[in-house]
Amino acid sequence: MPILENPRHEAFARARSKGALLNDAYESAGFVLHKGHPSRLAYRAEVAERIAELRAAQTLSEENSPVALLAALGRIIRAGEGSEDPSMVSVARRAIVDAARLRLQLEPARAADRERLLKDISVFSQTQILDTDPVDA
């Protein structure tokens, strides 16, 4: 389903898909809160479909995240290590290698993120907030 034509409806759908409460999503989309209006908007067919679509896309992206992949590999490793089946042990060993490769691939991105964060912190700490109000003595 494409983006909703009404930008406030789209903003409401996005907020709801991220877990915002009805009233909070309604107000954050720019509406004035009135009793019953948030739930009516949430039950409109096109808005409900858009919320479902956004939630499905979010779930799919979370399932394919590196953290989720490492967790899945960890479960495979634990299952294989406890097994007496040689094929499961082999699968566990391959999962260990895959997890190690994934961690190595992620490390440059993590290092870059750390450097950006440290740079932002240093810039923030160097800025001074000037008080323009006169101080009463």
Q: Which residues contact 31 (CB under 8 A, 6 or more apart)?
A: 8, 12, 37, 38, 41
Identify the weakest region by mean pLDDT among 8-17, 52-61, 108-117, 119-128: 119-128
Per-domain residue ranges of the chain? 7-63, 66-125
CB contact at 8 A, 16 and 42: yes
Categorize the per-residue pLDDT at 9 as very low, low, confident or very high, splitting at 50, 70 and 90.
very high
CB contact at 8 A, 96 and 75: no
- Among candidate residues 72, 108, 112, 111, the one with its CA nearest the CA of residue 92: 72
Q: Which helix (H) or strand (E) holds 123?
A: helix 86-126
| Average per-residue pLDDT for the chain | 77
- The predicted pLDDT at position 131 comes to 43
Whether the predicted model's global pTM rises above the 0.85 cut = no
- Mean pLDDT along residues 34-59: 88
